[in-house]
Amino acid sequence: MHLYVLRRLVIAVPTMIGVTLLIFVAMRVLPGDPLSSIEGESIGSVQLTAEQIASARASLGLDRPYYVQYLTWMYDVLRGNFGTSFWRGEPLIDLILRRAPITIQIALMAIVFSWIVGLPIGMLSAARRNSRLDYFARIFVTLFQALPSFFLGMLAVLVGILYFSWRPSLTIVYLWNDPVRNLQMTIGPSLALGLGLGAFIARIARSSTLEVLNEDYVRTARSKGLDDKGILYRHVLKNALLPVVTVSGLALGGLLGGSVAVERAFGVPGLGLALVMAVTERDWMLIQNLVLFYGVVFVLVNLAVDVSYALIDPRIRYG
């Protein structure tokens, strides 16, 4: 088991280096570095002169060769120095640490919610195949898989504003400071994300349950007189769970991406909103480090999923 985890960790290292290289190439090497896109425009009424641009370029280290720029960036990141925001001068590490808890909380709540909704619906609709319940479950899946989370979010905000005189909270409130106001801020986005994911989970759970129900040991269990409920809990649940776990890890990617749009719909000041702001303002250091943060989180989560998969299923460990 330890060996398996170690091997997975070793594979993750070159992947992470590749991630930083890809971000670097996208942000600095592709035509149009951050300053050249600003050059032509006037910012307010001020037009940057050629000397100002040159000095800004030098102060940001953009005049140095690419490999020096890359190594400096890596050196800084490894020391926990994420640079400062180009427009606000705020240290980015502060910004990321302030906003990350909200985004991570929303993502985790969405996962939990999707399991609560998706698993029972999927398993029951498989157990009562072609019943009315199955029929409704499939409509639910079809509808919520197509419904974009940000549209769902906008609808929720619309209803909240029109009928409940609700206002989106604009400042960050952490769960450990004020649970009620924190939940008011996070429950909407996590529901909007979780319903779509829940539909996906229900679909996977349904097909994997159907598969397991056809196994020989289920027939054996039934022939020895176990009732349907017992079979579902004792024999089917654990085996049908495997694909759901794998898929949840993959889905977290969609969740992290989708949370960017949902945060905008609800006006939640999380990482996603910061990323959108950074892209519209061309705050390249912020873009670079935020995307890196998302990449690191995603790689780590997939690692955790692989490990937990190996914990549930011994075949993976020794295979």
Partner 1 sequence: MTTELQTSPTLIQAGTWAPLAGPSRRTRTLGLLRRFVRTSPIGAVAAVALVLIFLVGALANVVAPYDPLAANFAATRREPSALFLLGTDYLGRDVLSRIIHGARVTLLVATTSVLLGDSLGFIWGIMSGYLGGRFDMLSQRLLDVMLSFPGLILAILLMAALGPRMETVIVAIAVSRVPLSTRVIRSIVLSVKELAYVEAARCTGATSLGVMVRHVAPQCVAPMLVILSANLGTAIFAESALAFLGIGIPEPTPTWGRMLGGVLSEAFRPPWWLIVFPGLAITLTIMTANLFGDALRDVLDPRLKR
Q: Where does this chain bind partner 1 (CB under 8 A)? A: 14-16, 18-19, 21-23, 26-27, 30, 32, 37, 142-143, 145-148, 150-151, 154-155, 157-158, 161-162, 206-207, 210, 252-258, 260-261, 264-265, 267, 275-276, 278-280, 282, 284, 287, 291, 294-295, 298-299
Smallest distance from partner 1 to CB 99, Å: 15
Cβ proximity to partner 1: between 117 and 157 the closer is 157
Smallest distance from partner 1 to CB 39, Å: 13
Q: What is the 3-state secondary structure (H, E, C) of 173-216?
A: CCCCCCHHHHHHHHHHHHHHHHHHHHHHHHHHHHHHHHHHHCCH
DSSP 8-state code for residue 278 = H
Three-state secondary structure call for residue 86: coil
- Hey, which bits of the chain come out as E strands? 42-43, 46-47
Cβ proximity to partner 1: between 6 and 314 the closer is 6
Smallest distance from partner 1 to CB 264, Å: 6
Whether the Cβ atoms of residue 244 and residue 208 lie closer than 8 Å to each other:
yes
Smallest distance from partner 1 to CB 257, Å: 3
Nearest to 122 by CA among 133, 113, 108, 111: 133
Find the distance separating the first CA and the last CA of the chain, reported in whole Å. Answer: 12
Cβ proximity to partner 1: between 88 and 234 the closer is 88
Q: How far apart are CA 29 and CA 284, in angstroms?
A: 13
Q: How many CB atoms lie within 10 A of CB 225?
A: 7
Smallest distance from partner 1 to CB 4, Å: 18
Cβ proximity to partner 1: between 105 and 125 the closer is 125
Nearest-10 Cα torsion for 214, 218, 219, 223: -160
Smallest distance from partner 1 to CB 71, Å: 19
Cβ proximity to partner 1: between 32 and 230 the closer is 32
Cβ proximity to partner 1: between 151 and 174 the closer is 151
Encoded tokens for 298? 């995603």
